[in-house]
Amino acid sequence: MMLMRAPGVYRADTDTRVLIDEMHRGAYAAGRRVLDVGTGTGAIALAAARAGAASVTAVDLSARSVAAARLNAALAGVPVDVRRGDLFGPVAGERFDLVVSNPPYVPAATARLSRHTRARCWDGGVDGRAILDRICAGAPDVLSEDGQILLVHSALCGTQATVDALGNAGFAPTVLARVTIPFGPVLHARAEMLEQRALITPGQRVEELVVVAGIR
């Protein structure tokens, strides 16, 4: 699937593909109202629409990402309602059957989240969980009574932490997939910092991607 994107918009990568694969494997989107949080190019939203979702809404804080997702949906000829705003703000008061997200999750040097640089696509605060934890805590407010959530992120920011966060939010969580991949450019650049924090072992240059699901 060819996707248009402007500079500063996250390029759909392995983590996106892993989440889409699990969404397809479990037929999570078929016939459901789907919300894609942090849509970027719209890759996951488009995949949900093509998988037979009853409706797809996509949200992103970045104006460039919103423009890219709208363009890609139009070019693909699939109906996706793309809105700009912070996480669940643009859909307050609405209900969905499935929330999907590939949020920024890379551990960063500071807790400050970037707003106007490319790093906003991947920086997740010092522990990588600044956005992840907000999604876990806020998802119940927009999900139907038997709604589900699918998240993908690196195990570097804590697989068990996500399981616990979803459990605390009222979900029955489970880890659906684990995929080991080589470091990309961002993690290579931060390898020394990650070693110093004992988030990786000396010389480690691979990470594990996980897909975590939660059912209300």
SS3 letters for 69-111? HHHHHHHHCCCCEEEECCCCHHHCCCCEEEEEECCCCECCCCC
Q: How far apart are the first and last CA of the chain?
A: 32
Q: How high is the pLDDT of residue 66? A: 96
pLDDT over 80 at 119, yes or no: no
Q: How high is the pLDDT of residue 10? A: 84
Average pLDDT over residues 87-99: 98
pLDDT over 70 at 1, yes or no: no
pLDDT over 70 at 154, yes or no: yes
The phi and psi torsions of 197 (rounded to 5 degrees) equal -90, 0
Split at pLDDT 50, 70, 90, the class of 101 is very high
Average pLDDT over residues 37-51: 97
Q: How high is the pLDDT of residue 126? A: 94
**116 or 143: whose pLDDT is higher?**
143
Tens digits of per-residue pLDDT, 14-28?
A: 999 999 999 999 999
Question: What domains can be seen in the chain, in order of their start residue?
Answer: 14-215 (3.40.50.150)
pLDDT over 70 at 116, yes or no: no
pTM across the whole model: 0.95
The per-residue pLDDT of the chain, averaged, comes to 95
Tens digits of per-residue pLDDT, 59-86?
A: 999 999 999 999 999 999 999 999 999 9
Tokens of 162: 């996500």
Q: How high is the pLDDT of residue 102? A: 98
Percentage of the residues of the chain whose pLDDT score is greater than 70:
98
